[in-house]
């Protein structure tokens, strides 16, 4: 080392670091805060639903990488002069995470961009001079001054800090204009503020008790979705009682496989059976249990499948329980497909792309390779993705086969059509082509369950929530037939109660599937689909006419029934009607079944294991929704019934249910 180099180092060690003035502090803080907003522009993997600049990486890392790559800090003088302003920027970026909303004021920042670009250009120029040995001390000092003075470029979509985020998207740009005096440092919270839960679920009221004299007919669409149960399970396993609005009792009941009696041939797509039993939570009422079992298609009879995987690859999907879990889930489904089935893959983020053109499932290596290449980044152009997915499905349409788009996502569609109504209209139009749509939800914190339900219902498909690989195996492997192969469409149930026997009734669940009475015979009204081997259960709590449990008084001036006059079905409890359409047909068919004394069991224990277990699940779901009817019915009684009726449990679903009941009992302080 030359002597003059030793002298320079000695001088640098002895040099006193100048104290920054108030103006420099203000400029540094202002630059740091604007640099924070720049992250929203630079980092395309920013999570959905977060404000602009929610990640503290892109701008700072890019700046340091440029310095280190070009070895600017090899010059000790440059290192000393550059370190102070850069360290200030990093420090204030960290403090901005806790900056209160009161300090966020809109300001115009467009004029600062040229200054920032000039500073970056100067960095590159000086790097080249340094590499050639031509950099002087004066040029080094000039460059450091330019860096300190130049603000970062304005953000294209600046937004509030996390502490100011609300459930509404904030669009106004903002920057912090500091006074000339030294800034006041805001101390951070003692603990990090947890990320806001942006899950969207549809709010609804539980079904009320209805008087048979006033409303003798109940009509609803069947529901084979299971998303609610998986969502409830995840909440409980995370130590939190689920949001009552996320609990759809019918989806919890229908999550489990039941051994209901099915039809003997494909000529009748499903069979129905009814059981009337005492109510375990009210000795003065009864339960009318309606069970439907779909015909199980033999493997050799299964039609060809034309599937399009529509995969959300936006920035928020990079978490382990999202895109990585999604890819493993679809790999399992691919392994289940036959060699003549077809798979296409469309992704959507900031833009839409076709990752895999229609490919035979026999080429599993190509399909797996396409899945392996998927990475998360960008916003969510869901509408464009749906259109492209339908285009591919229609281009390789299989007559008489299964043509289905399988949408996998964690949240909103924030580019293009974004409202649920607009998406529903789009899906309704597309289903007329014979291509149906199913939805798989992943992750937490940004899940748009309301949107999932809306488009799955109108796309003639089902909605499921995948929280674990085991759940993916259940939905896409064990229940692949019922998930993919419909045997009946637009299935509606209508129950007419006999006022001679029943005074009141209450349908447990199906609130979001209610239909008008006149919709039952209208074949243009959409309803749910039943897949191969699917089971569907509906439970009514009914009150006999002579029961002290009646909660609705008779009308003083209402129509009185003439008990002496004979009527059709006087001995019946109710009359059940089921309408459905065979696959590919537009005209519905009708199945009718009276409910009479032959369907009544004398005691609750006399009912089948499956019937009693489904009642335990119904009671649990109602407790999670805080339904008045089960307010005095303890979790211990739920567990007692479920344990006694557990029966065969080859996959452990019922054992897991018992553990969830115990968790809810421990978490529910109101019990």
User: pLDDT per residue over 274-324, tens digit each?
Assistant: 999 999 999 999 999 999 999 988 876 788 999 999 999 988 888 999 999
- Residue 71 above 60 pLDDT? no
Give 165 or 606, the one with higher predicted confidence: 606
DSSP 513-524: GB--GGGGG-TT
Predicted pLDDT of residue 504: 98
Predicted pLDDT of residue 161: 37
HEC-encoded secondary structure of 90-158: HHHHHHHCCCCHHHCECCCCHHHHHHHHHHHHHHHHHHHHHHCCCCCHHHHHHHHHHHHHCCCCCCCCC
For 242, which DSSP code? P
Predicted pLDDT of residue 160: 39
Mean of pLDDT over the chain: 78
CA distance 7 to 1: 11
CA distance 441 to 421: 19
Please state the pTM of the whole predicted model: 0.70
User: pLDDT per residue over 570-619, tens digit each?
Assistant: 789 999 999 999 988 999 999 999 999 999 999 999 999 999 999 999 99
Among left, alpha and beta (phi > 0; psi -120 to 50; other), residue 107 is beta
- Residue 339 above 50 pLDDT? yes
Band of the pLDDT at 459, cuts 50, 70, 90?
Answer: confident
Cα separation values, 604 from 503, 505, 535, 582, 600, Å? 21, 18, 22, 36, 10
Band of the pLDDT at 38, cuts 50, 70, 90?
Answer: low
User: pLDDT per residue over 341-385, tens digit each?
Assistant: 999 999 988 667 899 999 999 999 999 999 999 988 876 666 778
Band of the pLDDT at 427, cuts 50, 70, 90?
Answer: confident
Give 642 or 110, the one with higher predicted confidence: 642
Band of the pLDDT at 28, cuts 50, 70, 90?
Answer: confident
Domains detected in the chain: 20-163 (no CATH), 210-298+487-548+570-667 (2.60.40.1230), 303-484 (3.40.50.410)
Predicted pLDDT of residue 42: 53
Predicted pLDDT of residue 69: 46
User: pLDDT per residue over 190-218, tens digit each?
Assistant: 333 335 567 778 889 999 999 999 999 99
């Amino acid at each position: 080392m030359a002597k003059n180099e030793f002298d320079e180092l000695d001088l640098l060690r002895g040099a006193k670091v100048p104290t920054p003035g108030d103006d420099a502090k203000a400029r540094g803080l202002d630059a740091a805060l604007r640099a924070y907003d720049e992250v929203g522009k630079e980092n395309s993997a920013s999570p959905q639903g977060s404000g602009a600049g929610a990640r503290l990486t892109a701008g700072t890392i890019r700046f340091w990488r440029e310095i280190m790559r070009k070895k600017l800090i090899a010059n000790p003088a440059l290192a000393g002069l550059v370190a102070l302003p850069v360290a200030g920027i990093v420090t204030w970026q960290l403090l901005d995470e806790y900056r209160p909303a009161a300090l966020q004021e809109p300001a115009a920042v467009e004029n600062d961009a040229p200054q920032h670009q000039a500073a970056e250009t100067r960095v590159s120029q000086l790097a080249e001079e340094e590499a050639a040995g031509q950099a002087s001390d004066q040029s080094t000092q000039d460059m450091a001054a330019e860096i300190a003075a130049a603000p970062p470029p304005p953000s294209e979509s600046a937004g509030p800090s996390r502490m100011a985020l609300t459930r509404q998207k904030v669009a106004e740009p903002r920057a912090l204009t500091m006074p000339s005096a030294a800034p006041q440092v805001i101390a951070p919270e003692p603990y990090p503020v947890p990320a806001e839960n942006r899950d969207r679920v549809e709010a609804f009221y539980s079904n009320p008790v209805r008087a048979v004299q006033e409303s003798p007919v109940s009509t609803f669409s069947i529901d084979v979705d299971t998303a609610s149960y998986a969502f409830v399970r995840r909440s409980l396993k995370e130590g939190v009682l689920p949001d009552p609005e996320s609990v759809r009792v019918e989806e919890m009941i229908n999550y489990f496989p039941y051994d209901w009696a099915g039809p003997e041939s494909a000529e009748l797509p499903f069979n129905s059976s009814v059981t009337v039993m005492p109510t375990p939570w009210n000795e003065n009422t009864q339960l009318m249990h309606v069970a439907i079992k779909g015909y199980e298609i033999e493997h050799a009879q299964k039609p060809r499948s034309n599937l399009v995987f529509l995969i959300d690859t936006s920035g928020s999907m990079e978490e382990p329980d999202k895109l990585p879990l999604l890819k493993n889930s679809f790999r399992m489904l691919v392994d289940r497909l036959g060699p003549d089935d077809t798979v296409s893959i469309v992704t959507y983020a900031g833009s839409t792309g076709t990752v895999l053109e229609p490919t035979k499932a026999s080429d599993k290596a190509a399909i797996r390779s396409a899945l392996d290449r998927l990475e998360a980044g960008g916003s969510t152009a869901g509408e464009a993705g749906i259109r492209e997915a339908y285009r591919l499905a229609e281009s390789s349409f299989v007559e008489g086969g299964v043509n289905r788009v399988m949408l996998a996502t964690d949240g909103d569609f924030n580019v293009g059509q974004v409202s649920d109504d607009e998406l529903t209209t789009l899906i309704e139009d597309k289903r007329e082509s014979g291509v149906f749509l199913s939805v798989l939800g992943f992750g937490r914190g940004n899940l748009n369950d309301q949107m999932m339900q809306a488009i799955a219902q109108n796309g003639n498909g089902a909605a499921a929530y995948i929280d674990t690989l085991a759940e993916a195996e259940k939905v896409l492997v064990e229940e692949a037939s019922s998930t993919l192969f419909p045997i009946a469409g637009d299935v509606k149930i209508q129950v007419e109660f006999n006022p001679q026997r029943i005074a009141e009734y209450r349908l447990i669940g199906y609130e979001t599937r209610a239909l008008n009475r006149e919709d039952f015979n209208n074949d243009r009204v959409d309803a749910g689909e039943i897949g191969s081997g699917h089971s569907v259960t509906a439970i009514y709590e009914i009150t006999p006419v002579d029961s002290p449990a009646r909660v609705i008084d008779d009308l003083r001036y209402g129509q009185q029934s003439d008990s002496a006059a004979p009527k059709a079905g006087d001995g019946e409890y109710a009359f059940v009607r089921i309408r459905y359409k065979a696959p590919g047909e537009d005209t519905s068919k009708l199945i009718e079944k009276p409910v009479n004394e032959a369907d009544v069991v004398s005691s609750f224990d006399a009912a089948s294991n499956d019937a009693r277990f489904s009642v335990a699940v119904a009671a649990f779901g109602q407790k999670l929704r805080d339904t008045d009817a089960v307010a005095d019915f303890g979790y211990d009684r739920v567990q007692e019934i479920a344990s006694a009726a557990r029966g065969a449990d080859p996959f452990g679903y019922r054992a897991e249910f018992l553990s969830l009941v115990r968790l809810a009992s421990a978490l529910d302080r109101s019990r």
